């Protein structure tokens, strides 16, 4: 599942456009994003701002976090996740 800070209407439009096949949650208050360490200070071209850090958590059936991808290569990320799932 994914989590976004966008309002539901904007997120629904994005999900439909991208054809996502998994649930997306809205967290406009950033509460859950903060709990999971996914909301924080970011830097871009010398500018600092608060925003979503792209993090992937692999969670088992009991809800235990088994693996964290907090730095990712966008070109290989899906393959990296599949590799961890198969190994697990």
Res 1: pLDDT: 87
Residues 6+ apart with CB under 8 A from 56: 68, 69, 72, 77, 81
Place of tokens 């701002």: 49
pTM score: 0.75
In whole angstroms, what is the distance from residue 85 CA to residue 81 CA? 6
pLDDT digits (tens, 9 = 90+) for 27-40: 999 999 999 999 99
Per residue in 17-68, pLDDT tens? 999 888 999 999 999 999 999 999 999 999 999 999 989 999 988 999 999 9
């Amino acid at each position: 599942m994914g989590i976004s800070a966008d309002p539901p209407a904007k997120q629904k439009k994005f999900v439909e456009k991208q054809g996502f096949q998994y649930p997306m949650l809205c967290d406009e208050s950033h509460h859950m994003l903060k709990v999971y360490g996914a909301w924080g200070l970011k830097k871009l071209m010398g500018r600092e701002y608060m925003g979503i850090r792209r993090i992937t958590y692999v969670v088992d059936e009991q809800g235990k976090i088994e693996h964290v991808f907090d730095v990712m290569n966008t070109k290989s990320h899906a393959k990296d996740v599949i590799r961890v799932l198969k190994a697990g």
